[in-house]
Copies of this chain bind each other. A is one copy, B any other.
Amino acid sequence: MPTYNEMSREELLQEKSELEARFEEVKAKGLKLDMSRGKPSASQLDLAMGMMDVLNSDSDLKCEEGIDCRNYGVLDGIREAKQLLADMMEVSIENVIIYGNSSLNVMFDTVSRSMTHGVMGSTPWCKLDKVKFLCPVPGYDRHFAITEYFGIDMINVPMTPTGPDMDLVEKLVSEDESIKGIWCVPKYSNPQGITYSDETVRRFAGLKPAAKDFRIYWDNAYGIHHLYEDKQDYLPEILLECKKAGNPDMVYKFCSTSKVSFPGSGIAAIAASTNNLVDIKKQMTIQTIGHDKLNQLRHVRFYKDIHGMVEHMKKHADILRPKFEAVLDVLEKELGDLGIGSWIRPRGGYFISFDALPGCAKAIVAKAKEAGVVMTKAGATFPYGKDPQDSNIRIAPSFPTPEELAMAAEIFVLSVKLVSIDKILETK
Chain A residues in contact with chain B, CB under 8 A? 37, 39-40, 42, 45, 48-50, 52-53, 55-57, 59, 61, 68-73, 100-102, 104-105, 108-109, 112, 115-117, 124, 126-127, 142, 145-146, 149-150, 258, 262-265, 283, 286-295
Sample (16) of A-B pairs whose CB atoms are under 8 Å apart:
A49-B57, A52-B59, A71-B263, A100-B100, A100-B292, A102-B291, A104-B287, A108-B287, A124-B126, A126-B127, A142-B286, A149-B286, A264-B293, A264-B294, A265-B295, A292-B295
Q: Which of A48, A109, A127 has the most CB of B within 10 A?
A: A109
Contact of A264 (CB < 8 Å), options: B258, B262, B289: B289
Q: Is the CB of A52 within 8 A of B57?
A: yes
Contacts of A50 in B (CB 8 A): 57
A222 CB to nearest B CB, Å: 16
Q: Is the CB of A145 within 8 A of B286?
A: yes
Q: Is the CB of A55 within 8 A of B57?
A: no
A232 CB to nearest B CB, Å: 26
A287 CB to nearest B CB, Å: 4
A109 CB to nearest B CB, Å: 8
Q: Which of A37, A45, A262 has the most CB of B within 10 A?
A: A262
Q: Kindly list the 7 A-B residue pairs having the minimum CB-CB distance in the complex, ordered from nearest.
A: A126-B126, A49-B57, A265-B294, A72-B263, A108-B287, A45-B70, A149-B286
Q: Is the CB of A71 within 8 A of B264?
A: yes
Q: Is the CB of B68 within 8 A of A108?
A: no
State the CA gap A264–B285 with chains docked (Å).
Answer: 14
Q: Which of A108, A115, A264 has the most CB of B within 10 A?
A: A264
Q: Is the CB of B108 within 8 A of A71?
A: no
- In the complex with contacts A112-B112, A126-B116, A104-B289 CB distance below 8 A: yes
Contact of A100 (CB < 8 Å), options: B45, B101, B146: B101
- In the complex with contacts A55-B52, A287-B108, A39-B264 CB distance below 8 A: no
Q: Is the CB of A146 within 8 A of B294?
A: no
Q: Is the CB of A105 within 8 A of B287?
A: yes
Q: Is the CB of B57 within 8 A of A101?
A: no
A295 CB to nearest B CB, Å: 7
Contacts of A263 in B (CB 8 A): 70-72, 289
Contact of A116 (CB < 8 Å), options: B53, B115, B293: B115
A342 CB to nearest B CB, Å: 29
Q: A116 — nearest CB in chain B belongs to which residue?
A: B115
Q: Which of A50, A116, A150, A293 has the most CB of B within 10 A?
A: A116
List 13 additional A-B contacts (Cβ < 8 Å) besides A45-B68, A53-B57, A102-B290.
A42-B71, A45-B71, A49-B57, A70-B262, A70-B263, A109-B287, A115-B115, A142-B289, A145-B286, A149-B283, A264-B290, A264-B294, A265-B293
A123 CB to nearest B CB, Å: 12
State the CA gap A39–B73 with chains docked (Å).
Answer: 9
A303 CB to nearest B CB, Å: 15
Contacts of A73 in B (CB 8 A): 264
Contacts of A57 in B (CB 8 A): 49-50, 52-53
Contacts of A265 in B (CB 8 A): 69-70, 292-295
State the CA gap A3–B292 with chains docked (Å).
Answer: 49
A313 CB to nearest B CB, Å: 17
Q: Which of A56, A59, A145, A283 has the most CB of B within 10 A?
A: A56
